[in-house]
Amino acid sequence: MAAVYADNLLREMHLLRDKYIDNPITEVVIAIHDALFFQNRWIDYTASQYLQAYNLLSSLALQETINNSSVEEAIIALENYGFNTLPFGVQLDLNQADSFATE
């Protein structure tokens, strides 16, 4: 049953992105989407984390004006809550980068 709910939620997030791509809240919703979708990690998050994300989105939606700073702060807050909002990112080997710098 939870998988059906999660699937519906992820689909609604996609619809939101398709309909309101220019809305700043959409960027935060997609950050949550990526954290949930990647490798079915929606299973790994706790009720407390979901409540934190809900409260964050609710407070963001109540803001009169949402600017880039508000969006960045919201995504950083999600990271602080334990959501991996950039799961598709590239991992850098900093040791290798250091060896190139010394050559």
Tokens of 46: 């706790």
Q: How far is CA 99 from CA 14, 39, 95, in A?
A: 42, 33, 6
So where are the chain's domains? 2-102
**Per-residue confidence (pLDDT) for residue 4, from 0 to 100:** 81
Range in 17-21, 49-53, 76-80 the model is least confident about: 17-21
pLDDT of residue 92 exceeding 60, the answer is no
Alpha-carbon Rg for the chain in angstroms: 16
Tokens of 65: 């004006």
Report the run of H or E that residue 4 belongs to, with start and end.
helix 2-19
How high is the pLDDT of residue 103?
53
Give pLDDT tens digits for 41-74: 889 999 999 999 999 999 999 999 999 999 999 9
pLDDT tier, 77 (very low <50, low <70, confident <90, very high otherwise): very high
Looking at residue 60, its pLDDT comes to 93
